[in-house]
Amino acid sequence: MKIKICGLSTEETMQAALDAGADMVGLVFFPKSPRHVPLSTACRLADMARGKAEIVALTVNMDLDGLSRINELVNPDWFQFHGEETPEACAAAKVMFQKKIMKAVPVSERADLEQAQFYAIVADMILFDAKPPKGSDLPGGNGVSYDWTLLKDLDLAKPFMLSGGLDASNVAEAIEKSGTTAVDVSSGVEREKGVKDCDLIRAFVAAARGATVAGE
């Protein structure tokens, strides 16, 4: 089970995620998001995590110049594309930066899963997130969920990660219903929008690990 804590923005919460045993830590580079971090902060946080957890740089429809700057300064292990990036753009970034690629696919019904097949050809992992609520200008981190059973027995040929509305109280159920081997959380470990809570981070990681053990 891979556990990703996304949208970390302070040294305290990054340390809490690392101490709790998170496998992946996400840094958001999207100015509209309350979780956005400037490059100087991102560099410090990435240095804390390096060698302890995989570092994921989340971007939304960013151009190659912006990605190149993140790649050079932050040196993430993964780029997570959470916008309307095409499979061709994902492939180009993978070749150019020699980093693993995670592509977010928004889901509300079974038909939405079809586009994942196109991205699975080039991406190293697919992240299934809930479609944003109407009127939201954020593609993720909205705290909304969807029918996790849609992902059960999904034949994708690439690993996938479950995201969207997860927290410590429901992550075990989500793992059981979806059959996922990876989970991602952002708003579900926040005490207010964009502000992570160390206790909630620890509780989420413990719940996800517990679900793994229970399912074995």
* Whether this model's pTM surpasses 0.85: yes
Contact 2, 24 (CB under 8 A): yes
pLDDT by residue, tens only, the chain of 216 residues: 999 999 999 999 999 999 999 999 999 999 999 999 999 999 999 999 999 999 999 999 999 999 999 999 999 999 999 999 999 999 999 999 999 999 999 998 888 898 899 999 999 999 999 876 455 555 545 456 788 999 988 888 899 999 999 999 999 999 999 999 999 999 999 999 999 999 999 999 999 999 865 444
Contact 174, 184 (CB under 8 A): no
Q: How many domains does the chain have?
A: 1
Which CATH number does the domain housing residue 114 bear? 3.20.20.70
* Beta-bridge partners for 190: 196
pLDDT at position 17: 98
* Beta-bridge partners for 36: 28
Q: Describe the chain by its helix, strand, coil percentages, rounded to 5.
A: 40, 20, 40
Mind telling me the catalytic residues?
6, 129
Instruction: Tell me the C-alpha distance between 183 and 160, whole Å.
Output: 9
CA distances to 67, 89, 95, 103, 212 from 92, in Å = 11, 5, 5, 13, 35
pLDDT at position 16: 98
Q: Residue 130 is part of which domain span?
A: 2-215
pLDDT at position 137: 54
